[in-house]
Amino acid sequence: MSDTERAAAAPVYTASHWGLYAVQNPNSADMQLTPYAGDADPTAIGLYLNHPDVEALRVRKPAVRKGWLAVRKGEPGTPRGSDEYLEIEWDEALNLVAEELQRVRSAHGNEAIYGGSYGWASAGRFHHAQSQIHRFLNGFGGYVRHVDSYSLGAARALMPYLVASMDELVASHTDWDTLAEHTQLFLSFGGVPAKNAQIAVGGTAEHRVRPGLAKMRQAGVRFINISPVRDDIDTGGEVEWWPIRPNTDTALLLALAHTLCVRNLHDTAFLNTHCVGFEVFEQYVLGQTDGQPKTPAWAAAITGLPAADIEQLALDLAANRSMINMAWALQRAHHGEQPFWALISVAAMLGQIGLPGGGFAVCYGAANLMGSPHRRLFGPTFDQGRNAVKAFIPVARIADMLLKPGESFTYQGATHTYPDIRLVYWAGGNPFHHHQDLARLTQAWQKPDTIIVHEQYWTPSAKMADIVLPASTTLERDDIFYATREPVIAAMKQVQAPVGEARDDYSIFADLAARLGFGDTFTEGLDATAWLTRLYDTWRDQLAARTDVTLPPFDTFWQQGIHTLPQTGERVVLLDAFRQDPVANPLRTASGRIEIFSKTIADFGLADCPGYACWREPHEWLGSPLVNQYPLHLISDQPKNKLHSQLDHSPHSRGDRINEREPIYLNAEDAQARGIEHGTLVRTFNARGSCLAAAVPSPDIRPGVVRLSTGAWFDPARIHADDGDAANVDTPVFDKHGNPNALTADVPASSFSQGCTAQTCLVEVERWQHAAPPVTAYTFTVAPPAVAPAAAATTPSGPSHTTTR
Ligand SMILES: Nc1nc2c(c(=O)[nH]1)N[C@H]1C(S)=C(S)[C@@H](COP(=O)(O)OP(=O)(O)OC[C@H]3O[C@@H](n4cnc5c(=O)[nH]c(N)nc54)[C@H](O)[C@@H]3O)O[C@H]1N2
Ligand SMILES: Nc1nc2c(c(=O)[nH]1)N[C@H]1C(S)=C(S)[C@@H](COP(=O)(O)OP(=O)(O)OC[C@H]3O[C@@H](n4cnc5c(=O)[nH]c(N)nc54)[C@H](O)[C@@H]3O)O[C@H]1N2
Ligand SMILES: [Mo]
């Protein structure tokens, strides 16, 4: 084969957070995606990236909200989320954005610009929306940023004090083969959901969780799942299900610690050489601190699990090579620090941390990365520059920040002030998907002068913005696929022309930077293609200097399409070096050891997060008086047919819907007591809001618990609109589609972390007695440019974007 023939024969690839895909017939009407051949368990989510139903909701042209334009002209405005958009030309849109950025900066300073812009955006190392917006706003003089994530608000803040950063832990989990070979008892809090492991940040070339679990089952590993939901672990074999009350796992772990103490089963040698502060925790567990021994009987009353089983579990954990896994969901809760801290404390007492197949995990199943056998390298990075603004918020405090400028908040022991935000700039996230208590966010969203969003689709957040700039998708641009501990890297090639007038975030920011006088600083004179080469070459040099990995030259890589990274074949065991020699390989904690008691955190003096793991009642849970009004605990887990809200409009995601509504799972007895059957349209509500969903009674969910996955595009009823009976609902917000954040609380995990607490939420469910209002989540109203009929004539046909879709 000649080089030209080889190049023509090489498959073309694209990648998403949920997989690597080969593309047949790129740049043609017959284009088709198929999963990468090396993926044994691919997911279908990405196959719909170019589906007509998905493309129908693309933002095709820059658009500006009519009410915002009115205010600009000195006329009365309209609230965000309630009016129409006018399409404008790119030049005009970029001028508007540049003028507004300048106006806000000169009137209020860079501290008035929020560029936190949280969200998952798309895979690819260059066209990463967050990196792009941060580099742009840094070049403009800085912006108010966010710290931590919705995923791991409590854990990201906490874990570095106890053992190591979440990034470090997550990237070095023990591999599946080692678990199959050594683990005897696998105890999981919140399962190992294979649905969640479809995804990894940046993408994945092979899905490993289902095969990994199957191998463990074949090896005879015993599985116990502590979860309000039975089916969040599937090994293909028997799994013991302990249907715990949500948010009470800390009590169970404390009782395990109690049994280990009183039976003298804790590993004092490991505690002495590798840990600090066990004595303080022991006093609390034994009841010497507060008069309440944390016995199995005490925990039984809180968790709803039998005391005898709890006691036996402690004995079994000590008698076996035991791995204790904990879903991230547990820390996305009020006092979410505590289950993670209790996990580390119990694992330390068992003394198996750093042994093959033993210790703790945080966590298998939250993403595909954990358990990978592949080598840990580093990827190419795009420099974001330096932020001249010091002000920041913990990510989930956004509504607080907008509603309470000048007020203070605490974070990791220090006190900070909320800035006064006039302009919000977002690229690559969907806050009206991800934030809790969307009624409150809607209110907070009315505060800034201007909200600018780059979006691919008319998402709920696009429909809450003033200026919407159409962003291209992965399929429409060249990029590089690299993700942590994946076996290959790949050239992600442009395989279709941008839809409408969509542009990539980089070129949008490059044009804005030029208008604002820092074009050269932003671009360094390079276009996107030149940047790809530079990122790759720099990365290649760094790998050559620091490792034995030699990458091919860029042109060869681009032509090959895929490149396999060399492996060492070494097994991965989390924290094994620290275990072998804690003096030579100390942790980065204050003591260099595992901190069962943290003096640093204790010295912060916080009542809601003292210096050791402890039980604190959540503000609402199945043990609180509020159950008289709202007797069901709502779990809002990750959706199985999409990534958050991404591709919610694809047939794959909508295939799950019953009469267009998101399914809500509830225990069969709870359903019967309410006259609810499979498919019954129900209203789920509490004092914060309500939403419609379709009931699915199930024996696989604990009585008193309901599960409504996230991701159904927020579809609030407009009181004035033709929503019929919907207008009669008296909650602050009424979502017609099934979005759990109409119900969740915007309450921080603690004054330590300020993490989000989506999983702490009580509700009631009832039959919907009225006619079903239409779902309008996928509807938007955009008028073509008023002054440019010629341009309107060239816009693509299909469901016209001048009407409501
Ligand atoms: N109730 C409840 N709420 C939750 C959670 C929960 O468990 N329960 N989980 C939370 C968690 S863990 C997370 S991580 C968040 C996720 O929240 P988000 O990350 O905000 O959710 P996504 O739907 O992934 O939003 C990404 C958006 O970026 C857009 N996008 C994709 N690629 C590009 C691009 O290249 N350029 C631009 N400009 N835009 C792009 C997509 O169209 C999409 O609208 O949700 C949180 N919310
Ligand atoms: N398909 C798909 N996969 C995803 C995502 C997605 O949107 N779609 N999102 C990705 C992201 S951003 C993240 S952060 C991870 C999140 O990963 P996780 O946070 O681990 O995932 P969840 O699905 O929210 O919850 C996992 C399980 O925890 C259980 N659980 C909830 N509350 C409790 C509790 O109080 N106690 C116990 N014992 N169990 C509880 C739930 O029943 C659920 O089955 O998932 C990632 N994977
Ligand atoms: Mo997340």
Catalytic residue among 85, 118, 150, 536: 118
Indicate which ligand has the atom closest to the C-alpha of 126. 1
Is the pLDDT at 122 greater than 80? The verdict is: yes
Is the pLDDT at 800 greater than 50? The verdict is: no
The 3-state DSSP class for residue 185 equals strand
**Using one digit for the tens of pLDDT, what is the confidence trace for 145-199?**
999 999 999 999 999 999 999 999 999 999 999 999 999 999 999 999 999 999 9
Whole-number Å distance, alpha carbon 122 to ligand 1 midpoint, is: 10
Dihedral pair phi/psi, residue 564, rounded to 5°: -85, 130
Listed range (209-213, 397-401, 728-732, 760-764) with the worst mean pLDDT: 728-732
Instruction: Please give the Cα distance from 587 to 595 (Å, whole number).
Output: 10
Indicate which ligand has the atom closest to the C-alpha of 646. 1
CB of 457 within 6 A of ligand 1: the answer is yes
| pLDDT for residue 50 | 93
Is residue 328 part of the annotated active site? The answer reads no
CB of 394 within 6 A of ligand 2: the answer is no
Indicate which ligand has the atom closest to the C-alpha of 636. 1
| pLDDT for residue 722 | 57
Going by alpha carbons, the residue nearest to atom 29 of ligand 1 is: 428
The CB density around residue 81, as the number of other CB atoms within 10 Å, is 18
Helix count and strand count (H, E) for the chain? 27, 31
Q: Answer whether 751's CB lies under 8 Å from 687's CB.
A: no
Indicate which ligand has the atom closest to the C-alpha of 204. 2
Whole-number Å distance, alpha carbon 155 to ligand 1 midpoint, is: 19
Q: Answer whether 568's CB lies under 8 Å from 175's CB.
A: no
CATH code of 153-373+575-604, in short, is 3.40.228.10
Whole-number Å distance, alpha carbon 462 to ligand 2 midpoint, is: 26
Going by alpha carbons, the residue nearest to atom 43 of ligand 2 is: 190
Which is it for the CA torsion 727, 633, 156, 165, positive or negative? negative
Catalytic residue among 36, 114, 120, 612: 120
CB of 387 within 6 A of ligand 1: the answer is no
Mean pLDDT of 748-773: 96
Mutate to test the pocket of ligand 2, among 638, 701, 762 (most ligand atoms within 8 A of CB): 638
Q: What is the DSSP letter of 45?
A: G
Instruction: Please give the Cα distance from 77 to 791 (Å, whole number).
Output: 27
How many angstroms from the chain centroid is the CA of residue 347?
26
Is residue 68 part of the annotated active site? The answer reads no
CB of 331 within 6 A of ligand 1: the answer is no
Tell me which of 3.40.190.10, 2.30.30.240, 2.40.40.20, 2.40.10.10 is the CATH number of domain 625-767: 2.40.40.20
Is the pLDDT at 202 greater than 60? The verdict is: yes
- Sequence-distant (6+) residues with CB within 8 A of 348 are 270, 271, 274, 275, 278, 594, 596
The CB density around residue 727, as the number of other CB atoms within 10 Å, is 14
Identify the band that residue 1 occupies on the pLDDT scale cut at 50, 70 and 90: low
- Sequence-distant (6+) residues with CB within 8 A of 307 are 255, 295, 296, 297, 299, 300
Tokens of 579: 């275990």
Q: Answer whether 47's CB lies under 8 Å from 458's CB.
A: no
**Using one digit for the tens of pLDDT, what is the confidence trace for 648-691?**
999 999 999 999 999 999 999 999 999 999 999 999 999 999 99
Whole-number Å distance, alpha carbon 329 to ligand 2 midpoint, is: 5
How many angstroms from the chain centroid is the CA of residue 193?
15
**Ligand 1 atom at minimum distance from 462 CA:** 44
Domain boundaries, the chain: 96-148+386-564, 153-373+575-604, 625-767
Strand order in the sheet with 467-470: 113-114, 423-427, 450-455, 467-470, 63-65, 85-87, 782-783
| pLDDT for residue 783 | 87
**Ligand 1 atom at minimum distance from 128 CA:** 35
Partner residues linked to 766 by β-bridges: 683
CB of 122 within 6 A of ligand 1: the answer is yes
CB of 782 within 6 A of ligand 2: the answer is no
Is the pLDDT at 92 greater than 60? The verdict is: yes
DSSP symbols for 221-259: -EEEEESSBGGG---SS--EEE-PPTT-HHHHHHHHHHH
CB of 434 within 6 A of ligand 1: the answer is yes
CB of 117 within 6 A of ligand 1: the answer is no
Tokens of 486: 């994946």
Half-sphere exposure of 507 (CA within 13 A, CB side): 16
Whole-number Å distance, alpha carbon 727 to ligand 3 midpoint, is: 33
Which strand (E) or helix (H) includes residue 215? helix 209-218
Q: What is the dihedral of CA 110, 74, 445, 458, to 10 degrees?
A: -100
Single pTM value for the model: 0.96
Query: What letters, b where the CB count within 10 A reaches 16 and e where it falls short, cover 16-33?
Result: bbbbbbbbeebeeeeeeb
The CATH topology of domain 96-148+386-564 is: Rossmann fold (3.40.50)
Tokens of 687: 């004092």
Return the beta strands (E) in 238-356 as ranges. Answer: 240-242, 275-276, 322-326
Dihedral pair phi/psi, residue 635, rounded to 5°: -100, 125
CB of 477 within 6 A of ligand 1: the answer is no
Identify the band that residue 268 occupies on the pLDDT scale cut at 50, 70 and 90: very high
| pLDDT for residue 719 | 54
Dihedral pair phi/psi, residue 329, rounded to 5°: -55, -35
Instruction: Please give the Cα distance from 172 to 174 (Å, whole number).
Output: 7
